[in-house]
Amino acid sequence: MRRAEREAEFVAFVEGRQAHLRRVAYSLCGDWHLAEDLLQIALAKLFVAWPRVRREGREEAYARTVLVRTSIDEHRRRSRRPERPGLEGLDPATAPSPGPEDRDDLVAALQELPEMQRKVVVLRYLLDQPVAEVAAELGISEGTVKSHASRGIGRLRETVGGRL
């Protein structure tokens, strides 16, 4: 019975936070298919650690940390071996659902940032995380977080203009 209760709690958490975590994953990698993969990996790792994480009350923070670290791992893995298209032209990627023009411009500008700047900007400003928590999640110093955030926001302002 205890296991069934844990699984029910996990399912309830996933149902409530899956859409938000998927958007976070997309913000980190810029690809909806890769975001789905990142989210599945994060949820699998969260399920394994669920009793401990649930007891500590840090379910969402753990999921975000796993998303960020998995994104870093996937980026490193892709840079070591180039990806080859399987069914070129037969399986077109689906575009994200359309939204306001400003949002599309911001997402495009966000994807043009260097990877670490993008991750810092997403965690700091999209998820409203404090500098110390972002530094801990990314494994970098607080000064580096501030530097990446400043450069990333400056570059977004240049790209998107006064609408940011």
Q: What is the pLDDT along the chain (164 residues), one digit of tens a residue?
A: 488 888 899 999 999 999 999 999 998 888 898 899 989 988 998 898 898 888 888 888 888 998 998 888 877 776 655 555 555 555 555 544 435 566 777 788 888 999 999 999 999 988 888 999 999 989 999 999 999 999 998 988 888 765 54
- For 68-131, what is the HEC assignment? HHHHHHHHHHHHHCCCCCCCCCCCCCCCCCCCCHHHHHHHHHHHHCCHHHHHHHHHHHHCCCCH
Q: Could you tell me which residues come within 8 angstroms of residue 125 by beta carbon, excluding any fewer than 6 positions away?
A: 149, 153
CA dist 143 and 129 (Å) reads 15
Q: State which CATH number among 1.10.10.10, 3.40.50.720, 2.40.10.10, 2.102.10.10 fits the domain covering 100-164.
A: 1.10.10.10
Q: What is the pLDDT of residue 86?
A: 57
Extents of the domains making up the chain: 1-82, 100-164
- C-alpha distances in Å from residue 9, one per residue of 22, 28, 60, 67: 19, 27, 13, 20
Q: What is the pLDDT of residue 1?
A: 46
Q: What are phi and psi of 86, to 5 degrees?
A: -90, -60
